[in-house]
């Protein structure tokens, strides 16, 4: 698998995991990636995706494990 394929695979996995985020299970991440009308906030999504990628690299986490950890860190602010 070349670097571009790996990047695409990672982004698709992050997208799949973020599609499971709800206001109930990760309210801060949900608010970051959605506008007030419930539609996707592209800028907020890109920010969260970048933070998840950094967590994956730094902590050798899966996207599914990085999301709750990021939610917890955002809650501590």
Which pLDDT band, with edges at 50, 70 and 90, does 77 fall under? confident
pLDDT tens digit sequence for 5-48: 999 999 999 999 999 999 999 999 999 999 999 999 999 999 99
Which residues are bridge partners to 34 per DSSP? 40
Say what the pTM is. Answer: 0.91
* CA 72 – CA 36 distance, rounded (Å): 22
Question: Is 40 strand, coil or helix?
Answer: strand
* CA 53 – CA 10 distance, rounded (Å): 8
Residues found in the chain: 77
* CA 57 – CA 52 distance, rounded (Å): 9
Please give the pLDDT value at position 1.
Answer: 80
* Token pair belonging to 31: 């608010």
Please give the pLDDT value at position 42.
Answer: 97
Please give the pLDDT value at position 15.
Answer: 97
């Amino acid at each position: 698998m070349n670097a571009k394929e790996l990047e695409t695979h990672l982004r698709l996995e992050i997208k799949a995991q973020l599609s499971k985020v709800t206001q109930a299970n990760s309210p801060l991440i949900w608010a970051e990636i959605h506008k007030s009308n419930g539609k996707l906030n592209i800028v907020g999504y890109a920010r969260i995706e970048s933070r998840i990628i950094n967590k994956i690299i730094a902590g050798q986490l899966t996207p599914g494990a990085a999301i709750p950890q990021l939610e917890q860190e955002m809650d501590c602010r």
